[in-house]
């Protein structure tokens, strides 16, 4: 009715791990299409860079933001911007984060360059406050637009209980658009900070992966704990604990979701400290 494009597709195609069976994917490009998509049980798909999707796929419809909800209006709002600060127009939840970070660098707009190298979409990165020790998404947010089956509302970061890898938003709260709050800076200075943050990724594997499997417990590197447990290089089926970094699971080609789950169980069993999963398992 609203004109959303709907297709049954393998989710492996949408995840950086390259694993996952079929689901009904709803490509929604405006609020009307989004509202229709939310009428039945759903999941929201961003860049698929934190997901381990079952080989059987998922029964719910999977929502993917496209069109205007994947476009960024970076024009400074004249009423809210001044000599130091820029508040942008709306940036769609479906906008790929890496391209946005490059654009902000060129415009000399600072606050988000620490998130360089995170292959997410804006909505997914906001939903879990993705970041590195050099900066996180909530360091550059002015307003969030949240859509649920109950309707659309706008919230500011101070209304949310956000923290390390946590936005305070519930599952199913769709981050449809955000407005960014940035600091005017010299493009070369932004580039230098971006390059510096990127250096920390040198030791990360280059293969198909959903990034770090576990959150760092109490600020200690989970990768280091997995390394100290002697687990780097452990392989189950087509999945491998990366020899480069203990907290990354990579797909050697043909990995199944079961292989990945088995490695996660093994890590939990062998590492002496309780670890909280960062990956999201679908279903
Ligand atoms: P997805 O993986 O698609 O989904 C993850 C969760 O977000 C799901 O619950 C999904 O429903 C929800 N979601 C997605 N889009 C929306 C939306 N529009 N509204 C509401 N909810 C939504 N993470 C870091 O924090 N720091 C890093 O340094 C980092 N490095 C990485 C490096 C690599 C090579 C890879 C592959 C991943 C890395 N990650 C890192 C993990 C990942 O990029 C982040 O978790 C990111 O926030 C996931 O965003 P996404 O758009 O890909 O979301
Ligand atoms: N270390 C080891 N062995 C390993 C891995 C790490 O000894 O196998 C040691 C390193 O030598 C270093 C320390 O642990 O002394 C920290 O390692 P690193 O710099 O790689 O950082 P991290 O804490 O393991 C975190 C984030 C990454 C982010 C990097 C860079 C988490 C769970 N991980 O990793 O985020 O990219 O810092 O800022 O917070 C992600 O969340 O998906 C992710 C990749």
Torsion of CA 117, 193, 111, 187, to 10 degrees: -110
Question: Hey, which of 224, 227, 229 would you mutate to test ligand 2's pocket, going by the most ligand atoms within 8 Å of its Cβ?
Answer: 224
CA 99, 260, 264, 166 torsion: positive or negative? positive
State the ligand closest to the CA atom of 227: 2
pLDDT digits (tens, 9 = 90+) for 185-210: 999 999 999 999 999 999 999 999 99
Q: Which of 43, 61, 179, 212 is catalytic?
A: 212
Q: What is the CATH number of domain 217-282?
A: 3.90.78.10
Architecture of domain 71-199: 2-Layer Sandwich (3.30)
Is residue 123 within 8 A of residue 44, CB to CB? The reply is: yes
pLDDT digits (tens, 9 = 90+) for 32-84: 999 999 999 999 999 999 999 999 999 999 999 999 999 999 999 999 999 99
Measured in whole angstroms, how far is the alpha carbon of residue 64 from the centre of its chain? 13
111 lines ligand 1 (CB under 6 A): no
pLDDT one digit per residue (tens) for the chain, 283 residues: 899 999 999 999 999 999 999 999 999 999 999 999 999 999 999 999 999 999 999 999 999 999 999 999 999 999 999 999 999 999 999 999 999 999 999 999 999 999 999 999 999 999 999 999 999 999 999 999 999 999 999 999 999 999 999 999 999 999 999 999 999 999 999 999 999 999 999 999 999 999 999 999 999 999 999 999 999 999 999 999 999 999 999 999 999 999 999 999 999 999 999 999 999 999 9
CATH number belonging to the domain at 5-68, selected among 3.30.43.10, 3.40.640.10, 3.30.450.20, 2.60.120.620 = 3.30.43.10
CA distances from 278 to 165, 190, 221 (A): 8, 28, 13
Domain range summary for the chain, segments of one domain joined by +: 5-68, 71-199, 217-282
| Alpha carbon of 253 to ligand 1 centroid (Å) | 21
Name the 3-class secondary structure at 72. strand
Q: Are strands 42-45 and 51-53 parallel, antiparallel or unpaired?
A: unpaired
131 lines ligand 1 (CB under 6 A): yes
Rounded to whole angstroms, the Cα distance separating 248 from 204 reads: 8
Judge whether 56 counts as a catalytic residue: no
70 lines ligand 1 (CB under 6 A): no
- Sequential DSSP letters for 140-193: GEEEEEEEETTEEEEE-GGGS--BTTB-SPPTT-EEEEEEEEEEE--HHHHHHH
Give me the pLDDT at residue 1, please. Answer: 84
Query: What is this structure's pTM?
Result: 0.98
């Amino acid at each position: 009715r609203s004109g959303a494009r709907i297709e049954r597709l393998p989710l492996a195609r949408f995840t950086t791990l390259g694993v996952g069976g079929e689901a009904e994917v709803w490509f929604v490009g405006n609020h009307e299409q989004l509202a229709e998509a939310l009428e039945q049980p759903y999941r929201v798909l961003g860049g698929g860079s934190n997901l381990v999707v079952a080989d059987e796929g998922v029964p719910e419809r999977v929502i993917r933001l496209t069109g205007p909800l994947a476009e960024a209006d970076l024009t400074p709002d004249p009423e809210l911007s001044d000599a130091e600060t820029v508040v942008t127009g709306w940036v769609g939840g479906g906008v790929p984060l890496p391209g946005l970070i490059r654009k902000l660098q060129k415009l000399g707009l600072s606050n988000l360059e620490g998130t360089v190298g995170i292959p997410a979409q804006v909505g997914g990165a906001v939903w879990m406050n993705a970041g590195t020790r050099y900066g996180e998404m909530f360091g550059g947010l002015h307003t969030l637009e949240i859509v649920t089956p109950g309707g659309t509302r706008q919230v500011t970061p101070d209304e949310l209980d956000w923290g390390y890898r946590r936005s305070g938003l519930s599952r199913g709260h769709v981050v449809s658009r955000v407005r960014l709050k940035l600091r005017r800076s010299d493009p070369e200075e932004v580039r230098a900070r971006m390059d510096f943050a990127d250096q920390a990724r040198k030791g990360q594997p280059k293969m198909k992966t959903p990034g770090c499997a576990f959150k760092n417990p109490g600020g200690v590197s989970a990768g280091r704990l997995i390394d100290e447990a002697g687990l780097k290089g452990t392989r189950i089926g087509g999945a491998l604990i990366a020899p480069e970094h203990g907290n990354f699971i990579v797909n050697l080609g043909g990995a199944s979701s079961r292989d990945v789950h088995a490695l996660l169980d093994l890590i939990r069993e062998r590492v002496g400290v309780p670890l909280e999963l960062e990956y999201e398992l679908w279903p």
